[in-house]
Amino acid sequence: MSIDFLQTADIVAPQLLGCIFTHDGVSIRLTEVEAYLGAEDAAAHTHRGKTARNAAMFGPGGHMYVYISYGIHRAGNIACAPEGTGQGVLLRAGEVVAGEEEAYRRRGPVPFPRLAQGPGNLGQALNLQISDNHAPVNGPDFHLEEPTDRPEWVSGPRIGISKNTDAPLRFWIPGDPTVSVRRGRPKL
């Protein structure tokens, strides 16, 4: 089964779980993602329309949107849905499966499950840059490999945002130690 990035972000997001995403010498098995649904989603960067900053999120699907979070972290999304809709999937967390030494060089001495836990840490482990905007996920700089068997997954509220917080648009592999922990609440 091949992921169709013309589908909406809430359909694409769980299909990304278990995929191996490779960039700049590091490969990560995705264990947690979040869907953002464009104009109808107050938490989406694209909620208020297209800007120079979020233009990559408007497509085409299957291309990267990288942004700076909190002024320091680079977080990565994969644009999806028909071009012009501003939907995408945030890559929240994963397990480093290749390039571990390089990931540690970029991240420092952290426990292994935290190497790519959280969107900024995942972006740092992969060395995502703003210049990666618009790059195809299966192009010369990125590679997305789908698993032979799809993992079980669950969904629930997104974390780390202040708008549309109850939308069950966060998807993760239950019990995986690389999945983010909700602050102030037990790990789901």
Over residues 78-101, the mean pLDDT reads 96
Count helices and strands in the chain by DSSP H and E runs: 3, 8
Q: Which of 43-52, 53-62, 107-116, 166-175 has the lowest average pLDDT?
A: 43-52
Over residues 129-156, the mean pLDDT reads 94
State CA 135 to chain mean position distance.
Answer: 14
Residue 99, classed as helix, strand or coil, is: coil
Angle at the Cα of 33 from the Cα atoms of 7 and 98, rounded to 5 degrees = 110
Contact 120, 70 (CB under 8 A): yes
Q: What is the pLDDT of residue 185?
A: 44
pLDDT confidence tier of residue 144, bands split at 50, 70 and 90: very high
For residue range 19-55, list pLDDT tens digits in order: 999 999 999 999 999 998 888 877 777 788 788 888 8
Q: What is the pLDDT of residue 187?
A: 44
pLDDT confidence tier of residue 162, bands split at 50, 70 and 90: low
Over residues 89-108, the mean pLDDT reads 97
Rounded distance between C-alpha atoms, residue 188 and residue 31, angstroms: 13
Query: CB neighbours (10 Å) of residue 149?
Result: 5
* DSSP for 23-62, written as a single string: ETTEEEEEEEEEEEEGGG-TTSTTTT---TTTGGGGS-TT
Whole-prediction pTM:
0.92
Domain ranges of the chain: 9-148
Residue range 9-148 in CATH 3.10.300.10: yes
